[in-house]
Amino acid sequence: MTTPETHTAETTGHGDISVGVAGSGDSSASATRITPGNALRPEDIALEVRTGLVKPSEDVAEYALRLGDDALILAQRLGRWISRAPELEEDVALGNIALDQLGHARSFLTYAGGAWEKSEDDLAYFRREHEFRSAHLFEQPNGDFAVTIARQFVVSYYQFELYRRLTQSTDATLAAIAAKAVKEVDYHRDHSAQWILRLALGTKESRARMTHGLKLVWPYVGELFVDDELTTRLAGAGAAVEPSSLKADFDRLTGEVLAEAELEVPQTPVAPGGGRRGKHSEHLGYILAEMQVLAREHPGASW
Amino acid sequence: MASQNLQPVPEALSPEEQERAAQLEAEGQAYFDRVMADDSRIEPKDWMPAAYRKTLLRQISQHAHSEIIGMQPEANWISRAPSLKRKAILMAKVQDEAGHGLYLYSAAETLGQSRDKMTDDLIAGKARYSSIFNYPALTWADMGAIGWLVDGAAICNQVPLCRASYGPYGRAMVRICKEESFHQRQGFEILLELSNGTPAQKQMAQDAVNRWYAPALMMFGPPDDDSPNSKQSMAWNIKRFSNDELRSRFVGMMVEQVRVLGLTLPDSEVRFNDETRKWEHGPLDWEEFKEVLAGRGPCNAQRLERRREAHDDGAWVREAAAAYAAKQARKHAEKEYAA
């Protein structure tokens, strides 16, 4: 997958993004619809792993762990909005996005765990901070609604480019997880792009907050596109994607939305990141403390 | 609140007009009476007595508020759910409740009140919601007990409401009941898993059932001889069974299910009365019920404050969305005008 252009057509945005999914694109991509019965579930992957039908290589497992941790930490962040959103429709929408992310996390972690005889819950609840492989963007605090939308905007455009290419992975399980996830993430793109427009072009206050939100999250964009030995090896084998190869499409498509919103691409210094090597920000410890507390009070218990 | 926008009537009605109005009123009442007698449905544009409208508006908006406030005790455990599967189920459940609130606010809006007004009444402390949500969700097992007992009681109450005489309410209830029934089963399953787990887990489950049992029984409302509104609601085919009748049915169901759970109900006086053919339970603390209803429950202030905070914090977002929508509408109108 070193040359993704040969596998997939150039991505487009949502056409007239002010209209949204309902006006363009594939309506079956909406995460509010029930996923068809034959879609891949984490339980199916667990069964395949248990019966020896699939087993990821050490490299693929490490890679799946990264993607799973990104989605898990984001789901944990987004879940907090449920019952706190600016309007009920957003309780539902952000809840949906959190659920989608959690679903992707469960699939990736279940698959990754197959290499080490660990379950999704072993990996989610019984690893410590330095063992997590999520990028710093995902652990950034929710902030106000504009910060959450800014983070969501970057994440959804990044994940869309990533999953779109991963559907062509030579690793069948990664490809299958990505095929399900890309449809859901397409809806997330639509959700965040529409809010970028509303907030940027709504009122003076919302515009100031949106500008500030983008400024807060932008230092963590760079880390998403950094290649390392693992991604280079996996991309060489056609199993994964070089993060740097997503950058051009990401820049172009987010740039289109920001231009329509009459916003500048923030020119903020880039933070060094390090999440893929287990170096995290101060935030992750609190996230894990809360997420893991009950499971760790009852080690070995089943729920 | 469309009536507030009407122009004042310039002159008093003429005698002929007054007579015509009285005739329309009488025709409306006759149609309404026939609908009640036929056990058929009233729709938003039909004539209805002012008191019927008021009763429904109160009941449906209270129900909507209960769904929205009811999200809080469960949202409290989303971040700490002990497995990823449970986390996903809980998120989906709390999200369903937001959806139920939305259908119900929409049903209430067909009676002429805006969601904004209902929300304002809620956060001003003027509107009620189910008292049960003023109790704290202290442990993970509360997620099981709330699903099993609280959603279970809600289903007993709500299944007959699918046949409520007001069309939009009845139809909203059909969908809500389907989801509630799933919620109850997931609550039961949480408790079953805990009950068959470690001694600490089983104790957690029993403790939660002990705490939620009596408040759940009180969800059916005061005893029949102390329920002033029930009779009229039954005459209007909104309510189909009395509070005590529903409570008794619920106790009967729980007696069966608690055995499967391997837990006990904290009520030594539960028995089937062979003469009345009804289930009976021990005395309930109606003083506590009234206290919580009056705002003096464990979490009343906390729940309202959380709703107020979310609403206030979100004000700038709603304003931005409205301003953007207005700008877009203007743009489209200009485009059409030019074309």
Enumerate the domain spans of chain A: 40-297
Tokens encoding B178: 């389907």
pTM of the model: 0.91
Instruction: Answer yes or no: are the C-beta atoms of B243 and B230 closer than 8 Å.
Output: yes
Is the pLDDT assigned to residue A24 strictly greater than 80?
no
Task: Say if the Cβ atoms of A79 and B91 lie within 8 Å.
Answer: yes
Whether A142 contacts A77, CB under 8 Å = yes
Q: Is the pLDDT of residue A2 over 60?
A: no
Residues in A touching B68 (Cβ below 8 Å) = 88
**Which residue in B75, B84, B319 is closest to A120 by CB distance?**
B84
Q: How confident is the model at residue A134 (pLDDT cuts 50, 70, 90)?
A: very high
Q: Give CA separation, A291 vs A147, B78, B89, B306, in Å.
A: 22, 9, 15, 22
Q: Among A18-32, B24-38, B124-138, B269-283, which stretch is predicted with the lowest mean pLDDT?
A: A18-32
* DSSP secondary structure letters along A81-117: TTTTSSSHHHHHHHHHHHHHHHHHHHHHHHHHHTTTT
Taking the C-alpha atoms of residue A194 and residue A212, their distance in angstroms, rounded to an integer, is 17
Q: What is the total residue count of chain B?
A: 339
Q: Give Cα B106 distance to the centre of its chain.
A: 13
Short-list B122, B60, B319, B243, CA closest to A199: B319
- Of B298, B232, B315, nearest to B59 by C-alpha is B232
CA B305 to chain centre: 19
Tokens of B214: 């009596």
Q: Output the CA torsion B87→B89→B91→B92 (10° steps).
A: 160
In the numeric block, the tokens 């694109």 are attached to A25
Task: Give the position of tokens 């002429």.
Answer: B112
Domain A40-297: CATH class, spelled out: mainly alpha
With beta carbons less than 8 A apart as the criterion, state whether A1 and A235 touch: yes
Beta-carbon separation of B95 and A291 below 8 A: no
Best residue in B67, B68, B83 to probe A by mutation, most A CBs within 10 Å?
B83
Q: C-alpha angle with apex B106: B173 to B240, nearest 5 degrees?
A: 30
Asked if A182 and A160 count as a contact pair (C-beta separation under 8 A), the reply is yes
Measured in angstroms, the CA of A154 and the nearest CA of chain B are apart by 20
Contact A271, A136 (CB under 8 A): yes
DSSP state letter for B295: T
Q: State whether A80 and B79 contact (CB < 8 Å).
A: yes
Is B101's Cβ below 8 Å from some Cβ in A?
yes
CB-based contact A88 B68, cutoff 8 Å? yes
Distance CA B324, CA B26 (A): 47
B140 vs B147: CA distance, rounded Å: 12
Which chain A residues have a beta carbon less than 8 Å from that of B78? 79-80, 82
For residue A2, what are its two tokens?
């070193």
Phi, psi of B115 (to 5 degrees): -60, -35
Nearest to A193 by CA among A75, A23, A20, A77: A20
3-state secondary structure A219-231: HHCHHHHCCCHHH
Does pLDDT of A5 surpass 50?
no
pLDDT at B183 over 50: yes
Q: From CA A2, how far away is CA A15, in angstroms rounded?
A: 28
Residues in B 123-142 with any Cβ partner in A closer than 8 A: 140
Question: Does A34 score more than 50 pLDDT?
Answer: no
Token look-up 């009285």 returns B22
**Quick one: which of A96, A280, A245 has its CA closest to B99?**
A96
* Contact between residue A241 and residue A4 where contact means Cβ atoms under 8 Å apart: yes
Rounded CA-CA distance A279/B200 in Å is 36
Q: Answer for the pair A135, A277: CB distance below 8 angstroms, yes or no.
A: no
Question: Does the beta-carbon distance from A301 to B72 stay under 8 Å?
Answer: no
pLDDT for B197-222, tens place per residue? 999 999 999 999 999 999 999 999 99
pLDDT at residue A6 greater than cutoff 60: no
Interface of B with A in 147-206 (CB under 8 A): 190, 193-194, 197-198, 200-201
Residues of chain A neighbouring B71 (CB-CB closer than 8 A): 82-83, 91
How much is the pLDDT for A30?
39
Q: In whole angstroms, what separates CA B302 from the centre of its chain?
A: 19
Phi, psi of B164 (to 5 degrees): -60, 150
- Closest CB to A145 among B79, B87, B317: B317
Please state, in angstroms and as integers, the Cα–Cα distance from residue B322 to each residue in B97, B98, B120, B240, B329, following that order.
Answer: 25, 21, 18, 41, 10
Reported confidence tier of residue A12, pLDDT bands at 50, 70, 90:
low
Q: How many CB atoms lie within 10 A of CB B207?
A: 16
| Contact at CB, B81 and A294, closer than 8 angstroms | yes
pLDDT class of B192 with cuts at 50, 70, 90: very high
Among B51, A66, B33, residue whose Cα is nearest residue B42: B33
Residue A9's pLDDT band (cuts 50, 70, 90): low
Locus of tokens 């390090």:
A274
In whole angstroms, give the CA distance from residue A11 to residue A109.
27
Q: Is the pLDDT of residue A15 over 60?
A: no
pLDDT band at B229 (very low <50, low <70, confident <90, very high): confident
Indicate yes or no: CB of B82 within 8 angstroms of CB of A80: no
- How many CB pairs (< 8 A) connect A and B? 146
- Strands (E) across chain B are located at 271-273, 278-280
- Residue identified by tokens 């169901």 is B253
- Shortest distance between the Cα of A84 and any Cα of chain B, in A, equals 5
Judge: A83–B310 Cβ closer than 8 Å, yes or no.
yes
To the nearest whole Å, the CA of A215 is away from the closest chain B CA by: 18
Distance between CA atoms of A60 and A234, rounded to whole angstroms? 7
- What's the per-residue H, E or C state across A241-302? CCHHHHHHHHHHHHHHHHHHCCCCCCCCCCCCCCHHHCCCCCHHHHHHHHHHHHHHHCCCCC
Interface contact B320-A203, CB threshold 8 A: yes
Residue A3 has what pLDDT?
A: 42
Q: How far is A220 from chain B (nearest CA, A)?
A: 24
Gyration radius of chain B over CA positions: 23
Best residue in B61, B87, B143, B179 for a mutation probing chain A (most A CBs within 10 Å): B87
The answer to whether residue B286 neighbours chain A at the CB level (below 8 Å) is no
Residue among B74, B322, B40 nearest B167 (CA): B40
Contact A46, A110 (CB under 8 A): yes
B78, B194, B324 ranked by CB distance to A202: nearest: B324
Q: Which two tokens stand for residue B147?
A: 């699903």
Count how many residues are written for chain A.
303
What confidence tier does B11 reach under pLDDT thresholds 50, 70, 90?
confident
Query: Is the CB of B327 less than 8 angstroms away from the CB of A203?
Result: no
Least confident segment among A5-9, A222-226, A248-252, B57-61: A5-9
Distance (Å, whole) CA B333 – CA B269: 69
- Whether B91 contacts chain A with CB within 8 A: yes
Q: Which of B314, B316, B324 sits opposite A85 (nearest CB)?
A: B314
CA distances from residue B56 to A151, B105, B110, B237 in whole angstroms, order as listed: 43, 12, 11, 11
Q: For chain B, give the percent of residues with pLDDT over 70.
A: 97
CB B263 within 8 A of CB B203: no
Mean pLDDT within A47-70? 95
Contact A56, A68 (CB under 8 A): no
Q: What is the DSSP letter of A31?
A: T
Closest approach of chain B CAs to the CA of A278, in angstroms? 22
The residue in chain A having the minimum alpha-carbon distance to the alpha carbon of residue B186 is A303
Q: Is the dihedral of CA B281, B227, B36, B118 positive or negative?
A: negative
Residue B272: φ, ψ to 5° = -95, 120
Neighbour tally for A159: CB within 10 Å: 27
Residues of A in contact with B91 (CB under 8 A): 79, 82, 95, 98-99, 102
Out of A72, A201, A301, name the one closest to residue B197 (CB).
A301
Read off the pLDDT band of B338 (50, 70, 90): confident
Smallest CA-to-CA distance from A266 within A104, A105, A147 is with A147
With CB atoms and an 8 Å threshold, state whether A201 touches B87: no
